Amino acid sequence: MTILVTGATGMVGRHVVAELVKTGHRVRALTRTPSAAGLPDGVEVVGGDLTDPPSLEPSLNGVERMYLFSVGRTARDVVAAAKWAGVRRIVVLSGALADTDDSEDGYLAVERAVEDSGLEWTHIRPGEFAANWLDWAPTIKEGRVVRRPYGAAVTQPTHEADIAAVAARVLVEDGHTGRTYTFAGPAALTTVAQVDAIGTAIGAAVRFDELDPAQARAEWISNGYPEAFVDWIFAMWAESVRAPAPTNQEWADIVPRLTGRPARTFAQWATDHATDFR
C-alpha cells in the first residue's frame, strides 16, 4: 500500500513520514522543494504544491491513502484529484477550533471537502501546538526572556510527534472512518510554567516579562500579525486568566488510547527542542 503525505517537510508532516516508515508501507512524500527534503532513505519524494492542484496529479498515481495538510481554498480540487486517481482514505490535519472558523481557507473547508467526496475520512484536531513556542526562540536565545501578556493564561500544548503518531495510526489502521479526534497534550499549563520548562531544558533561567495587553497588541500588529488574529488570541488568553481551565482529560486521553503509549509532556517537548532555544 502506498500512502501519500502532503506537507511532508513541515513540523508535523516530517514526523508522519517517520511514523509511516516504521509500518513498512510505501511512503510517498509531497513537498514543494524535493531537493531539500532531507527525509529517510526509502521514502519516495515528489514535487507538488497544494495551492496548485494540477501539480499533484503525478504524485497521486497508485496512492491508496493520503494524509492531507489543510489548505482550504483548494481543498475541493485536491480531493477531487485524489478521488479520480483512486485514493480511498484521507486523514485531515485539522484543528481543535475548526468549528469556529468557517472561512474559505479554514480547517472546516477542508473537512467538508473530504466528507463530501464519499471517500473514507478521519479528521484529527489537535489543540495548541507546543511548537508555537519556536516563535519565541530568538528572544530566548538573545536575552533569555519572553515578553508577552497574560502569563497566567492556561493552554494544553501538544507535541507535534504525538500529532503525527495519531495521524499515522488512523491512516494504517481500520475502524476510524467517519471519526473526528480532538485532542491535546497531557497537562494544562500556564504560560509562565511553559517558559520555566524551556529554561529547565536549556539549563538557564528564562525570564517572563508581563506586558500590558494594549502595549503588546500594538507590538504584535506592528510586527505583522493580523489585527483580527491578535484580538482573537488576546481575548482567549484574557478569558483563560479570568477562568483558568483544568486539564481537559477527554482530550488528553486520545493520544495514549490511539497510540498505546503516554503522550509526551511539554517538558519533553522543550528538551527535544532545546537546541532551538540555546
**Can you give the three-state secondary structure of the chain, one letter per residue?**
CEEEECCCCCCCHHHHHHHHHHHCCEEEEEECCHHHCCCCCCCEEEECCCCCHHHHHHHHCCCCEEEEECCHHHHHHHHHHHHHHCCCEEEEECCCCHHHCCCCCCHHHHHHHHHCCCCEEEEEEECCEHHHHHHHHHHHHHHCEEEECCCCCEECCECHHHHHHHHHHHHHCCCCCCEEEEECCCCCEEHHHHHHHHHHHHCCCCEEEECCHHHHHHHHHHCCCCHHHHHHHHHHHHHHHHCCCCCCHHHHCHHHHHHCCCCCCHHHHHHHCHHHHC
* Residue 142, C-beta contacts closer than 8 angstroms, at least 6 positions apart: none
Average pLDDT value for the chain: 96
| Whether residues 147 and 119 fall in one domain | no
Residue 195 CA to residue 181 CA, distance in Å, equals: 28
Strand partners, 189: 155
pLDDT for residue 103: 84
pLDDT for residue 105: 84
Q: Does 174 fall in a domain?
A: no
Q: Does 161 fall in a domain?
A: no
How does pLDDT run across 256-269, given as a tens digit for each residue?
999 999 999 999 99
| Whether residues 80 and 134 fall in one domain | no
| Whether residues 145 and 215 fall in one domain | yes
Count the alpha carbons within 13 Å of 245 in the hemisphere toward its beta carbon: 14
Output the domain CATH number for residue 240.
3.40.50.720
| Whether residues 103 and 90 fall in one domain | yes
Indicate the residue among 106, 126, 146 that finishes a domain.
Answer: 126
How does pLDDT run across 111-169, given as a tens digit for each residue?
999 999 999 999 999 999 999 999 999 999 999 999 999 999 999 999 999 999 999 99
pLDDT for residue 27: 98
Do residues 164 and 172 lie in contact, with contact meaning Cβ atoms separated by under 8 Å?
no
Average pLDDT of 161-188? 98
How many domains is the chain built from?
2
Residue 130 CA to residue 144 CA, distance in Å, equals: 18
pLDDT for residue 10: 95
pLDDT for residue 47: 96
How does pLDDT run across 28-74, given as a tens digit for each residue?
999 999 999 999 999 999 999 999 999 999 999 999 999 999 898 99
Indicate the residue among 104, 126, 148 that finishes a domain.
Answer: 126
User: Is the pLDDT score of 230 beyond 90?
Assistant: yes
Residue 188 CA to residue 66 CA, distance in Å, equals: 32
Q: Does 218 fall in a domain?
A: yes
Q: Does 271 fall in a domain?
A: yes
Do residues 137 and 277 lie in contact, with contact meaning Cβ atoms separated by under 8 Å?
yes
Average pLDDT of 13-35? 96
How does pLDDT run across 72-123, given as a tens digit for each residue?
899 999 999 999 999 999 999 999 999 988 888 889 999 999 999 999 999 9
* pTM higher than 0.85: yes
State which residues form the domain around 268.
130-156+186-246+263-277
| Whether residues 31 and 92 fall in one domain | yes
| Whether residues 11 and 119 fall in one domain | yes
Q: Can you read off the three cell numbers belonging to residue 257?
A: 488510547
pLDDT for residue 223: 92
